[in-house]
């Protein structure tokens, strides 16, 4: 029998661990808001008819990869990430290769698409191996493909040697398998549809992340794997492999608050109501960001449908697409004839003629006079800062 510390400092030392408690009444408003935000995204996806090849889907996947790595201070080359994502979706077989990128894309892809397959020790160890090709983290050799087994404490620290601050200390290595067996059994028992043991999907994802991070079973890669488990839990909740909302992007934007919320939950008792509330709020913000992206995609599509019958030179189409991509007021200083010339390589006379034609056709609108005239894309919902 393991003796528990009578004055527990960490959550796993608490006598009630791992019986994590959530006050349903307190979290209800945050959960309801988050589910509404997710429902709005699902409705918009249905109306716009997105598939796995759509730019929004590709960008969301790439965002998730880049952000989950950056939370850990790992900066991945965006071009390599995009190429790897497209290869993963079967859309391309060229582009730059990066072993670390390929591994992380494979892990996140497996978590969110093969969500109907069991999460077990073997699968988690394969994920961790994929993150560290060659068995090193930086220049340091680490244990890969297995739970940690070192005798030293597994600590999350910051600061310089001699002034290091210990933010969290995980269970000792010899206890990891016992903790992980209980976690994986719970995850399997609560996988939808779970019947009497069912848990709200967001609550389950929040618990899974906190529980896994509190065990910290691997020598490295726990944060990325923990967020992959969240991806898997959310995919199981939504019962679809295609997720457009990048939670990791939102967590990166709130990185300090994310670490603080985890640390606070890991230092408290087994009532994790505040953590679940915070987590649900982050999911709501991630869904709202995606909703805005879809809105912009719908505006762009409506623009091209409106002007589909009007003849356009390829250079005009290119400039209009650039203005659409830059968004409401995003083209700094507005478009004028000189900028049009630089973008297309045409003469001033051709630039003036092209711009006048697009204004007459309703694709652009102009404001100002003489040398101060500026042009902006004619999307009724956009003001471009002009009253």
Contact by Cβ (8 Å): 70, 39: no
Q: State the alpha helices, DSSP H only, in 239-369.
A: 247-253, 255-267, 273-306, 314-326, 337-344, 348-360
Report pLDDT for 242.
63
Task: Kindly tell me if the per-residue pLDDT of 94 is higher than 80.
Answer: no
Tell me the CATH class for 310-377: mainly alpha
- Band (12; pLDDT cuts 50, 70, 90): very high
Nearest to 13 by CA among 227, 175, 189: 175
Find where tokens 């400039």 sit: 319
Start-end of CATH 1.10.3290.10 domains in the chain: 11-296
Q: Is pLDDT of 34 > 50?
A: yes
What is the three-state SS of 133-170?
CCCEECCEECCCCCCCCCCCCCEEEECCCCCCEEEEEC
Domain with CATH 1.10.10.10 in the chain: 310-377
**pLDDT over 60 (residue 3):** no
Which residues on adjacent β-strands are paired with residue 17? none
Q: Once rounded to an integer, what is the mean pLDDT over residues 250-256?
A: 96
At 191 the three-state DSSP class reads coil
The stretch 266-292 carries a mean pLDDT of 95
Higher pLDDT, residue 249 or 196: 249
Q: Report whether 101 contacts 77 (CB < 8 A).
A: yes
CATH of domain 11-296: 1.10.3290.10
**Residue 47: predicted pLDDT:** 78
CA angle 92, 134, 95 (to 5 degrees): 15
Q: Can you give the pLDDT at residue 136? A: 83
- The answer to whether residue 347 scores a pLDDT higher than 80 is yes
The pLDDT confidence band at residue 195, using thresholds 50, 70 and 90, is low
Residue tagged 């967590």 (tokens): 251
Q: Judging by beta carbons within 10 Å of its beta carbon (0-12, 13-18, 19+), is residue 19 exposed, middle or buried?
A: exposed
259 falls in which pLDDT band (50, 70, 90)? Answer: very high
In this prediction, residue 2 carries a pLDDT of 47
The yes-or-no verdict on residue 223 having pLDDT over 80 is yes
pLDDT(54) > 50: yes
Higher per-residue pLDDT: 145 or 92: 145
- Percentage of residues in the chain having pLDDT higher than 70: 96
Predicted pLDDT at 139: 76
């Amino acid at each position: 029998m393991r003796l528990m510390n009578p004055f527990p400092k960490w959550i796993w030392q608490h006598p009630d661990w791992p019986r994590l408690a959530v006050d349903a009444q307190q979290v209800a408003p945050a959960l309801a808001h988050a589910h509404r935000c997710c429902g709005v995204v699902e409705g918009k996806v249905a109306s716009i008819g997105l598939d796995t090849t759509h730019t929004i889907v590709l960008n969301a996947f790439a965002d998730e990869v880049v952000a989950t790595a950056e939370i850990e201070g790992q900066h991945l080359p965006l071009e390599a990430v995009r190429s790897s994502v497209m290869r993963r979706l079967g859309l391309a077989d060229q582009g730059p290769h990066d072993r670390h990128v390929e591994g992380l894309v494979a892990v996140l892809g497996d978590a969110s698409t093969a969500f109907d397959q069991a999460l077990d020790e073997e699968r988690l160890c394969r994920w961790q191996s994929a993150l560290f090709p060659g068995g090193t983290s930086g220049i340091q050799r680490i244990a890969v493909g297995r739970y940690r087994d070192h005798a030293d404490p597994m600590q999350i620290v910051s600061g310089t040697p001699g002034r290091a601050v210990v933010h969290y200390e995980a269970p000792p290595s010899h206890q990891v398998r016992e903790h992980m067996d209980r976690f994986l059994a719970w995850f399997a028992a609560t996988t939808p549809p779970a019947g009497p043991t069912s848990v709200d999907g967001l609550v389950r994802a929040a618990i899974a992340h906190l529980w896994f991070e509190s065990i910290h079973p691997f020598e490295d890669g726990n944060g990325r794997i923990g967020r992959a488990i969240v991806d898997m839990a959310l995919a199981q909740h939504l019962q679809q492999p295609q997720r457009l909302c990048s939670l990791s992007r939102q967590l990166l934007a709130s990185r300090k608050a994310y670490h603080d919320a985890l640390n606070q939950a890991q230092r408290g008792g087994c009532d994790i109501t505040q953590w679940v509330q915070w987590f649900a709020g982050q999911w709501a913000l991630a869904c709202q960001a995606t909703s805005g992206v879809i809105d912009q995609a719908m505006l762009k599509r409506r623009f091209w449908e409106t002007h589909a019958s009007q003849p356009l030179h390829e250079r005009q189409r290119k400039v209009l697409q650039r203005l659409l991509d830059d968004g409401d007021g995003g083209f700094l200083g507005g478009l004028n004839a000189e900028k049009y010339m630089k973008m297309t390589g045409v003469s001033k006379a051709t630039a003036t003629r092209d711009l006048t034609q697009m204004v007459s056709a309703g694709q652009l609108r102009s404001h100002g006079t003489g040398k101060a005239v500026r042009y902006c894309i004619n999307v009724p919902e956009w003001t471009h800062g002009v009253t």
